[in-house]
Every structure is written in structure tokens, then in C-alpha cells.
């Protein structure tokens, strides 16, 4: 389970970085279709899951 | 287990790659065509909300009600396009059919001086006359005749009747305007008022020098540079252009500064009508116009700033005028020979239908903007109208002895008409060339003009918009690459 959450974390982190970079280069390109706040919320939820998984392992 | 994780890993990264690829596709628009629709159910990034909020009600049930004229919205395309087709789904609601707004037009902002390229959406004056008069339609051209004389639009254009019998709408009729028994003036005189903001006027030249001397002041009420450009045009041909930079004070201090002079002297011009445009923002006042031209008619609007000659007489051939002011001390009654036009409040437009073919207006105070669809001049000797009569909200075929109407106009389509005989949703399209349109922060500005639609005129009328759809067309990716490589 942990490795799946880890992978989602990597993809969501990459998504955020790519989307923010695209938005900085071409304003409006991402936010016209995708709500970046939602992506950030998913990422945070994923981080919480990841932290709880890690604390269980420790 | 290992295989399933590998598949999962590939799948999630593939989703990200697909999303990034799709976003790039939507940004680049490789096919050169893309469409956007704003249906008032949720915000649309590309098509902005209708504004200002004072003239629209909040969106409700997938529609938005427009209660005042004009309203604006923005269009943010993802990249450069050449053409835009605007399709509007709407309906006009009015308890009194006689007072329903007769004309709806859509326009795109052409420059920073608030000039819009307006295209028809609906014109019930033409639709009404088309039912009474003989009508010939050829593509998007329509010719209406009170009595049948011409069998085709082509025949009409080749053998035009007297110009005072023709009215046009969204159509430029090529004609040569000549003033019979015109005599040029030799003396230079100053016009009796100072004029605020941008404006344009026609002068007539015959065996004389074009001689115009402008003095400008900068009111410094707005935080921006206030450059001035004066252009002389003959038809669409630029004859000359002069510019004046800002007075150096870009603040909103309210300290009036002298901006400078622009003198235009051009001998040897061919006989005819010349259009002079003063392009400036509302901070600029033309404190003096001195000219030797005997004919000088201001086109569509004149913002009288001040005058030493109050009460000031202004002549107009408009079928109706609008007046407004932002200055509380300019509230007044403007006398006309069709009764008084009471300018009762600031920041509000007051209209009056004029019955005479030539109307005398008497202004008691300055800082008043007068507008209409015809000409304004400071004396009957100066007034001339080289334009063919245009169909406006005040148009009256009987009053103007109009026998023929030529228009570039396609009637809106009525779709989903309800069975109870009520008006259904109308759909109308307007095409725009957006290559030269004004763009600020990547946005185009569109206007919906509905002359006669007022919030507090006591008439229960409105325009309900159900959908704004925009089709954009430009170079495709291959054409774009080819143009770069060439």
C-alpha cells in the first residue's frame, strides 16, 4: 500500500510542479481547465496518508 | 504483485503525460480552430462575465438578464487568431412591444480610444419594414423598396436613386459627396467652445488649404500618460497624421497643464469631404480649434467642456440625442425645438427623440457630452452631413422620406419556439476580423449595444442572454511553422 501512496505522491508533486511551471510560462494555460487548489488538496491529503503510513512503520 | 504495481506506475505517469499533452494541445490549437461557450451556469475562463454589474442581474438558471445599455465582456484566446464568430442566444422581454429595444449590436474594441467595430445582432426596424415593403435578399445584403423599382441589389447599386431617399444599415455605400454652390472662407475663426476627450469631424475642401490649429490642455484627472494624435483621412486613406506627447505630468493631481499645439496646413487637396480624428483620452481638452474651413460638422458626439458664449447654440440633424455629464454643476435643461431635454443627474444618460430635420440645441453649461448618430455643428452654415442616412433606434422612414434601405443584415433565427406563441430563444451571429483589434493583458473586449435599454426609464424591458458562443479561427500549426521558416 505504502509504495502506491508513494507513487501517487511523486506523480502529484510532479503534476504540481509541471502545472505551476506551465502557468508561469503561459498564464491561463492550466487554470483555464484545472483547479490547481484541488490538485494541491489532493497532494496534501496524500502527504497526510504518507506520513501516517510512515509513523505506523516506525 | 510486482506486475500490478508496474502497471499502476505506468498508468499514473501516463495520465499525467496525457493531461500535460492535452493542455498543450488546447494552448497551441494545432488545427487553428477552437470554440468556447459561456452558458451562465459556471464561470468560463475564456469568455468573461457580463459587466458592469449595475446593468446586469446575477446569472440565474443558466441565463443572465441585461437591464441597461451597453454591457461588456472579455474574450481571452489561448493564442493569436484571425477571425472570431460570435453567436448569441437571447431573447428580448418587454411588456410594451412598442418600447422594446429595436436594435441589438455586438462589437469588438478596435483601439484604446473606445472605438468599437459594431455588427448587427437584431434590427427590428428592418425586420418590420421588410414585412411592409418589397424586399430583395442576396447573401447577407438586403434591399428594401417602398415601391418596386429595382429588380436586384446590383441594379440598385449601379443606378442609385437620389441619396436623400436612401438609408443604410451596416453597409458603406460608395458615393461622391459634393456641396453645390460651396464657397471657401478666407478668414480664420475660432470655434466657440472647448471640447473634451476624443472626437471626429468632417470638413469640406474645395480650392482651399486645409487649415486647422488645435490647442490642448491636460486635466490630469487620471493616472496615465495622455498622448494625442490628430489624423486627417479621405475615406479610408490617411492624408496626414500628427502627434503630441503627454505634458509630463502623469499624475491624477487635477492640475491643468498646457499640452501644446498641433497645426495642420495642407494645400492642394482635391475637392471633397475630409475626416479629421482627434484621438485622445478624457483627460485631454481641445481648448481652441481655429480653422478657415467654412464647413465643420462633428460626427456622432461632442463633449462641450467650456465656452465663453453660454448659452451655447449647437445645431444637429440627429433623429434623437443623448446627453450626459459627470459634473454636478453641469446639471441643466437643454432646450431643443422639440422641447427640453432635462439633464437631471450625473453619470446617467438622458435621451430625446427629435422631430425636426434640423434641431437647435441650447446649452447653458459646459462639461456636457452630447451624442447621436448624425452631425453636430456650431452654426447652420457650418453643418453638413456627407453620410447617407443610417438606421438607428430613432429611425422614422416617413420623417426622412426614405424610399430605399440597403443593409448588410441577416435576421436572427428563432429556435425552440414555445407552442403558446411566446418568443423563443433567438440565435444571431456576428463575424469579426480580430487581427487589428485592441488587446489588453491578452484579452479582447466585446460590447453588446442595446440602444434604448435603460434601467430606470419606467419601461419593463430587458434582454435575456442564454448563451455566448465564440468560434475562433486562425493559422494552423503547419501554416504557423511555414510562416516562421519563410
Beta pairing partners, B202: B275, B297
| Closest chain A CA to residue B8 | A4
B165-215 pLDDT tens trace: 999 999 988 888 889 888 888 889 999 999 999 999 999 999 899 999 999
* C-beta separation of B138 from B155 below 8 A: no
B435-470 pLDDT tens trace: 999 999 899 999 999 988 888 777 788 999 999 999
CA nearest to B360, candidates B324, B331, B335, B323: B335
User: Residue B75: inside a domain, yes or no?
Assistant: yes
| Closest chain B CA to residue A10 | B13
CA distance B149 to B145: 7
ipTM of the complex model: 0.92
Q: Which residues of B touch A11 (CB under 8 A)?
A: 12-13, 15-16
Q: Given an 8 Å threshold on Cβ–Cβ distance, is B78 in contact with A29?
A: yes
Residue range(s) defining the domain that contains residue A20:
2-57
CA nearest to B261, candidates B240, B277, B247: B247
| Closest chain B CA to residue A3 | B5
pLDDT reported for residue B416 = 67
Quickly state the pLDDT bin for B418 (edges 50, 70, 90): low
Least confident residue range of B57-71, B87-101, B109-123: B87-101
CA distance B288 to B278: 13
Quickly state the pLDDT bin for B94 (edges 50, 70, 90): confident
Whether the pLDDT of residue B222 is over 90: the answer is no
Question: Mean pLDDT for chain B?
Answer: 90
Where helices occur in B29-171 by DSSP H, the ranges are: 124-132, 153-158
Q: Given an 8 Å threshold on Cβ–Cβ distance, is A7 in contact with B19?
A: no
Total domains present in chain A: 1
User: Residue B166: inside a domain, yes or no?
Assistant: no
Q: Given an 8 Å threshold on Cβ–Cβ distance, is B45 in contact with A31?
A: yes
Overall average pLDDT of the B374-394 stretch: 91
Whether the pLDDT of residue B55 is over 70: the answer is yes
User: Residue B376: inside a domain, yes or no?
Assistant: no
A24 near B CB under 8 A:
no
pLDDT reported for residue B422 = 67
Class of residue B23 by CB neighbours under 10 A (exposed 0-12, middle 13-18, buried 19+): buried
Q: Given an 8 Å threshold on Cβ–Cβ distance, is A29 in contact with B23?
A: yes
CA nearest to B432, candidates B129, B75, B160, B154: B75
Q: Given an 8 Å threshold on Cβ–Cβ distance, is A27 in contact with B15?
A: no
Q: Given an 8 Å threshold on Cβ–Cβ distance, is A29 in contact with B12?
A: no
Q: Which residues of B touch A4 (CB under 8 A)?
A: 5, 8
pLDDT reported for residue B206 = 92
User: Residue B440: inside a domain, yes or no?
Assistant: yes
Total domains present in chain B: 1
pLDDT reported for residue B257 = 83
How many residues would you count in chain B? 486
Quickly state the pLDDT bin for B421 (edges 50, 70, 90): low
Class of residue B372 by CB neighbours under 10 A (exposed 0-12, middle 13-18, buried 19+): buried
CA distance B329 to B337: 24
B235-257 pLDDT tens trace: 889 999 999 887 677 777 778 88
A6 near B CB under 8 A:
no
Q: Which residues of B touch A22 (CB under 8 A)?
A: 20, 23
A3 near B CB under 8 A:
yes
pLDDT reported for residue B1 = 55
Whether the pLDDT of residue B419 is over 70: the answer is no
Q: Which site among B2, B20, B35 would you substitute to test the A interface, given the most A Cβ atoms closer than 10 Å to its Cβ?
A: B20
The residue ranking higher by pLDDT, B424 or B438, is: B438
pLDDT reported for residue B247 = 67
Overall average pLDDT of the A26-40 stretch: 92
User: Residue B123: inside a domain, yes or no?
Assistant: yes
CA B231 to chain CA centroid, Å, is 19
User: Residue B21: inside a domain, yes or no?
Assistant: no
Q: What is the CATH number of the domain that holds B99?
A: 2.60.120.1200
SS (H, E, C) chain A: CHHHHHHHHHHHHHHHHHHHHHHHHCCCCCCCCCCHHHHHHHHHHHHHHHHHHHHHHC
Q: Which residues of B touch A3 (CB under 8 A)?
A: 5
Overall average pLDDT of the B115-139 stretch: 93
Overall average pLDDT of the A38-54 stretch: 91
pLDDT reported for residue B483 = 86
Q: Which site among A2, A19, A26, A27 would you substitute to test the B interface, given the most B Cβ atoms closer than 10 Å to its Cβ?
A: A26
Option in A14, A15, A32 nearest B45 (CB): A32
CA distance B446 to B453: 18
CA distance B363 to B325: 12
Option in A7, A29, A33 nearest B12 (CB): A7
Residue range(s) defining the domain that contains residue B429:
34-133+411-477
Q: Given an 8 Å threshold on Cβ–Cβ distance, is B20 in contact with A18?
A: yes
Q: Given an 8 Å threshold on Cβ–Cβ distance, is B16 in contact with A29?
A: no
Do the bridges between strand B134-138 and strand B461-473 make them parallel or antiparallel, or are there none, so unpaired? unpaired
Amino acid at each position: 500500500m505504502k509504495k502506491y501512496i508513494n507513487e501517487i505522491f511523486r506523480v502529484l508533486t510532479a503534476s504540481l510542479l509541471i502545472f505551476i511551471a506551465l502557468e508561469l510560462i503561459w498564464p491561463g494555460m492550466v487554470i483555464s481547465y484545472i483547479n490547481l487548489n484541488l490538485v494541491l488538496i489532493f497532494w496534501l491529503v496524500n502527504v497526510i496518508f504518507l506520513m501516517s503510513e510512515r509513523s505506523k512503520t516506525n | 504483485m510486482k506486475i500490478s504495481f508496474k502497471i499502476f506506475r505506468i498508468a499514473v505517469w501516463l495520465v499525467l503525460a496525457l493531461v500535460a499533452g492535452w493542455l498543450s494541445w488546447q494552448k497551441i490549437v494545432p488545427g487553428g480552430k477552437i470554440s468556447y461557450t459561456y452558458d451562465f451556469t459556471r464561470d468560463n475562463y475564456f469568455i468573461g462575465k457580463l459587466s458592469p454589474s449595475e446593468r446586469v442581474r446575477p446569472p440565474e438558471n443558466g441565463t443572465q438578464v441585461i437591464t441597461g445599455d451597453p454591457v461588456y465582456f472579455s474574450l481571452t484566446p489561448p493564442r493569436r487568431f484571425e477571425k472570431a464568430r460570435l453567436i448569441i442566444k437571447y431573447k428580448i422581454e418587454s411588456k410594451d412591444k412598442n418600447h422594446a429595444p429595436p436594435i441589438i449590436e455586438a462589437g469588438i474594441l478596435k483601439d484604446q480610444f473606445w472605438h468599437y467595430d459594431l455588427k448587427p445582432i437584431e434590427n427590428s426596424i428592418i425586420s418590420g419594414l421588410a414585412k411592409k415593403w418589397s424586399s430583395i435578399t442576396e447573401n447577407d445584403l438586403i434591399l428594401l423598396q417602398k415601391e418596386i423599382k429595382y429588380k436586384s441589389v446590383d441594379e440598385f447599386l449601379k443606378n442609385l436613386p437620389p441619396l436623400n431617399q436612401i438609408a443604410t444599415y451596416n453597409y458603406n455605400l460608395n458615393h461622391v459627396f459634393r456641396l453645390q454652390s460651396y464657397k471657401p472662407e478666407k478668414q480664420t475663426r475660432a470655434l466657440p467652445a472647448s471640447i473634451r476627450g476624443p472626437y471626429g469631424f468632417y470638413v469640406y475642401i474645395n480650392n482651399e488649404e486645409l487649415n486647422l490649429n488645435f490647442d490642448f490642455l491636460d486635466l490630469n484627472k487620471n493616472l496615465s500618460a495622455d498622448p494625442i494624435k490628430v489624423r486627417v483621412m479621405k475615406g479610408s486613406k490617411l492624408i496626414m497624421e500628427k502627434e503630441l506627447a503627454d505634458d509630463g505630468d502623469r499624475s491624477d493631481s487635477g492640475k491643468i497643464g498646457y499640452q501644446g499645439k498641433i497645426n495642420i496646413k495642407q494645400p492642394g487637396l482635391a475637392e471633397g469631404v475630409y475626416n479629421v480624428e482627434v484621438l485622445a483620452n478624457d483627460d485631454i481638452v481641445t481648448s481652441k480649434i481655429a480653422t478657415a474651413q467654412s464647413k465643420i460638422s462633428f460626427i456622432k458626439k461632442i463633449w462641450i467642456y467650456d465656452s465663453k458664449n453660454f448659452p451655447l447654440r449647437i445645431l444637429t440633424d440627429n433623429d434623437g440625442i443623448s446627453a450626459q455629464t459627470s459634473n454636478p454643476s453641469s446639471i441643466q435643461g437643454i432646450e431643443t425645438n422639440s422641447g427640453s431635454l432635462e439633464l437631471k443627474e450625473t453619470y446617467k444618460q438622458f435621451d430625446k427623440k427629435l422631430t425636426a430635420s434640423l434641431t437647435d440645441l441650447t446649452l447653458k453649461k459646459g462639461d456636457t457630452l452630447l451624442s447621436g448618430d448624425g452631425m453636430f455643428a456650431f452654426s447652420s452654415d457650418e453643418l453638413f452631413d456627407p453620410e447617407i442616412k443610417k438606421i438607428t433606434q430613432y429611425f422614422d422612414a416617413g420623417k426622412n422620406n426614405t424610399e430605399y434601405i440597403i443593409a448588410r443584415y441577416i435576421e436572427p433565427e428563432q429556435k425552440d419556439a414555445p407552442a403558446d406563441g411566446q418568443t423563443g430563444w433567438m440565435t444571431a451571429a456576428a463575424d469579426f476580423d480580430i487581427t487589428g483589434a485592441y488587446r489588453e493583458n491578452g484579452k479582447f473586449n466585446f460590447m453588446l449595444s442595446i440602444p434604448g435599454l435603460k434601467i430606470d426609464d419606467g419601461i419593463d424591458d430587458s434582454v435575456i442572454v442564454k448563451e455566448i458562443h465564440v468560434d475562433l479561427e486562425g493559422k494552423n500549426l503547419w501554416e504557423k511553422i511555414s510562416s516562421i521558416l519563410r
